[in-house]
Amino acid sequence: MWGAEPDERGVHFRVLAPGRERVEVIIGEGPAARAIPLSRDREPGAWAVDVPDLRAGALYRYRLAPDEEALADPASRFQPAGVLGPSEVIDPTFAWTDAPFPGIPARGRVVYELHVGTFTAEGTWDAARAHLPDLARLGVTVIEVMPVGEFPGQRGWGYDGVFWFAPFHGYGRPEDMRRFVDDAHRLGMGVILDVVYNHLGDVGNVLPRFSLDTVGSKPSEWGTALNFDEGEARPMRAFVVENAAYWIDELHLDGFRFDATQTIVDSSTPHVLTEAAAAARVAAGDKTLYLVAENEPQDSRLARPTSEGGVGVDALWNDDFHHAALVALTGQSEAYFMDYAGEARELAACVRHGFLFQGQRYAWQDKPRGRPTRGLAGRAFVVFLENHDQLANEGLGERLWTRVAPGRLRALTALTLLAPSTPLLFQGQEWNATARFAYFADQGQDLAGVVKAGRADFLRQFPRYASPEARDRLPDPGAPETFASCRLDWNEREAPLHARALRLHRDLLELRREDPTIGREGLDGVTVDAAALTDALLVVRYFGADLGGADDRLLLVNLGVDFEPASSSEPLAAPPLGHDWQLTWSSDDPRYGGAGARGPRPGRALFFPADAAVVMSPAALPAKDPEPKSKPEPKPEPKVEEP
């Protein structure tokens, strides 16, 4: 392992610095600092030294010859003063209590994305830890934490990190993060980390000073791509692989969300992500990990096993589902939403197949998009209505509930949380939080203007931000008030509007978890299909273990007006033999702010309330009186004698 590792004898320092004439570790700060030379290690380019009687808490830097500049450790476990300060030796031991936690199983995953700095008013691990019971009661099983590797400034999203092994100092110390993970495990929730292996930030980035081959010659969205397959690519590959193992081993994390994998340029075999995933699984031992990838081109090969030429991750973010749902909610099909009509048929395709685009021409990019998903399970696709990117990419960071019809939002929330895919909620979405989520970064005065201009330039793709006047109204990423406006207010959950939204999400996740058919998520022989009756209607049929039996379920989603067919030619809507459908749940229930749950009238098979979703289950038809075998002889009428 790279970095500083303390034990009972002292601290072992090990760093990769190929091509350097001499490497020293500077212990301490100021006049009392002392320099200790490192020796060449067995591995090419590696340097190491044991410093006896040194303990955790010591501050240090490395000095590289011939530059003679003191630099923080690229594999630092903590940067108490930020990216420009010294590294701190961290004790890796912790009084863990999570031995019984088995990891994240395939069944029942419900992901909750959060940003530590805005999840609470305090913006710390300890403050976030206090709300873990709330997430457990909601029905969350996987907490996805946005990047925490040390990044510049006092606030940011974390995607410009430069010390991948060091939890951001503004959220607390590494032991605070360990307590957060330990408590989550005690409550039955796993924790995965969003990791950025596609680029490094600019401010405070020391890694290229230690290894000149950190970057290669291939372009990426963030300048030159990191080097995983050119020349001496071993240092960069080793850095990624060791980092993946570190988070699992020392912080007890349960997996990763790999950011923007399309910009991880690697033509070698195995792919660096395959190596990182394998190292993480070895570090996990018997614990089940959960590995998710973001991939804008929607390359389904990432979710296929390595034996089939894949990378071997467990799931992929499904942007197609989000884009189709957003157009259905807002009617705005501009910029990268232009290829979506927002019709039920698109959402039906996402329920059936995962991705909508599987090689078709994508007009926005004028090229094919996606790859076939045949053979991949529904749980291999993570679906969402909100996430950090999609909220901020709308410019102002406004929450969906503030700008769409409430009934339609409840209906699509039901589809998101009950579909056979893996649902993801973004922090505060479950109670219709008022806090927006805009882009914010603290890059210093020198770069503040560049960041602001870059964000405005990205949003020019939306016609509503094409004019300079409109772009001037965008939140300033560097302004402290932009960051403050994104912090959640947990007290607002008690207000009626927010309490109703919270009840909706809790009830849906309970239905997903407890219903004997929906809860199986299409696994173990349960078949899930979907079809659109019209452009506005969606039918999802959950078949029980007894095909066409009394444990079937229907999810009916209507994105239009009231609709009650006299009879249905849709085969998915056929009730099991001897049964008819009855209403068991409705998004239009007054408890959620609806007008009242309505089911089919007697003699009618189905009813689709406007802008609503309903769940139907079979009810046995009443038994009819049996027909007599033969008609009884008529009784003779009594004779009446005349007087």
433 and 118 in contact (C-beta within 8 Å)? no
300 and 355 in contact (C-beta within 8 Å)? yes
Q: How far apart are CA 290 and CA 361, in angstroms?
A: 32
Query: 35: which strand partners?
Result: 26
What region does 299 belong to: left with phi over 0, alpha with psi -120 to 50, or beta?
Answer: beta
The number of residues in the chain equals 643
Q: Where are the beta strands (DSSP E) in 501-578?
A: 528-531, 537-542, 553-558
Question: Which amino acid would we find at residue 504?
Answer: L
Q: Which of 73, 160, 242, 294 is catalytic?
A: 294
Task: Choose among 302, 289, 316: nearest CA to 382.
Answer: 316
Alpha-carbon Rg for the chain, nearest whole angstrom, is: 29
294 is catalytic: yes
- Up-side HSE of residue 536: CA atoms within 13 Å toward CB? 13
Task: Choose among 3, 34, 406: nearest CA to 174.
Answer: 3
Q: Which residues contact 383 (CB under 8 A, 6 or more apart)?
A: 318, 321, 322, 350, 416, 419, 421, 422, 423, 424
Phi, psi of 634 (to 5 degrees): -70, 140
Q: How far apart are CA 641 and CA 557, in angstroms?
A: 72
Beta strands 381-383 and 315-317, pairing class: parallel
Q: How far apart are CA 82 and CA 64, in angstroms?
A: 21
134 is catalytic: no
- Up-side HSE of residue 236: CA atoms within 13 Å toward CB? 28
Distances from the Cα of 151 to the Cα of 78, 154, 196, 244, 556, angstroms? 11, 8, 12, 18, 46
Structure tokens at 59: 């501050």
Phi, psi of 631 (to 5 degrees): -75, 135
Question: Which amino acid would we find at residue 188?
Answer: G
597 and 565 in contact (C-beta within 8 Å)? no
Task: Choose among 413, 406, 394: nearest CA to 507.
Answer: 413
Q: Which of 182, 249, 259, 521 is catalytic?
A: 259
Which residue reads 């190292």 in tokens?
279
Task: Choose among 594, 593, 587: nearest CA to 418.
Answer: 587
**SS3 assignment, position 572:** helix
- Up-side HSE of residue 489: CA atoms within 13 Å toward CB? 13
Q: In the chain, what is the greatest distance between 2 CA atoms, to the nearest angstrom?
A: 142
289 and 248 in contact (C-beta within 8 Å)? yes
Residues with catalytic function? 259, 294
